Amino acid sequence: MNMLFKATKFVVAAALLAGLSTASMAKERVYKWKLATTWGPTLSPFIDAPTNMAKMVEEMSNGRLVIEVDASNKHKSAFGILDMVKGGQYDMGHSASYYWKGKDINTMPFSTMPFGMTTAEQYAWFYHGGGMALMEKTYSKHGILSFPGGSTGNQMGGWFRKEINSVEDLKGLKMRIPGFAGEVMAKLGLTVTNIAPGELYTSLERGTIDALEWVGPGMDINMGFHKVAPYYYTGWHEPGLDLHFMVNERAFKKLPKDLQEILITAMRVSAYDMYIQNYHMSADAWSKIASEYPNIKIKTFPKEVMDALKQTNKELRAEMVKDQPLLKEILDSQEAYQKKVRKWTEMSDYLYLKDNL
| List of residues contacting Ca ion (CB under 5 A) | 155, 213, 238
Put residue 168 in one of left, alpha, beta given phi > 0 → left and psi -120 to 50 → alpha: alpha
Q: C-beta of 259: minimal distance to Ca ion in Å?
A: 33
Q: C-beta of 221: minimal distance to Ca ion in Å?
A: 15
Q: C-beta of 290: minimal distance to Ca ion in Å?
A: 23
Amino acid at 41: P
**Which of 123, 252 has the CB closer to Ca ion?**
123
- Identify which of 44, 297, 271, 345 has the alpha carbon closest to the alpha carbon of residue 156: 297
**Which of 180, 252 has the CB closer to Ca ion?**
180
**Which of 48, 238 has the CB closer to Ca ion?**
238
Letter string b/e over residues 72-110, b meaning 16 or more CB atoms within 10 A of that residue's CB: beebeebbbbbbbbbeeebbbbbbbbbbbbeebbbbbbb
Sign of the four-CA dihedral 250, 254, 257, 261: negative
Three-state SS string across 155-197, please?
CCCEEECCCCCCHHHHCCCEEECCHHHHHHHHHCCCEEECCCH
**Which of 155, 312 has the CB closer to Ca ion?**
155
Amino acid at 201: Y
**Which of 72, 155 has the CB closer to Ca ion?**
155
Q: C-beta of 348: minimal distance to Ca ion in Å?
A: 26
**Which of 183, 238 has the CB closer to Ca ion?**
238
**Which of 91, 213 has the CB closer to Ca ion?**
213
Q: C-beta of 276: minimal distance to Ca ion in Å?
A: 18
Q: C-beta of 90: minimal distance to Ca ion in Å?
A: 24
Q: C-beta of 130: minimal distance to Ca ion in Å?
A: 25
Show the DSSP H helices in the chain as ranges. 3-28, 48-60, 72-75, 81-86, 119-128, 131-139, 167-170, 179-187, 200-205, 217-223, 249-254, 257-292, 303-320, 325-345, 351-355
Residue 284, classed as helix, strand or coil, is helix
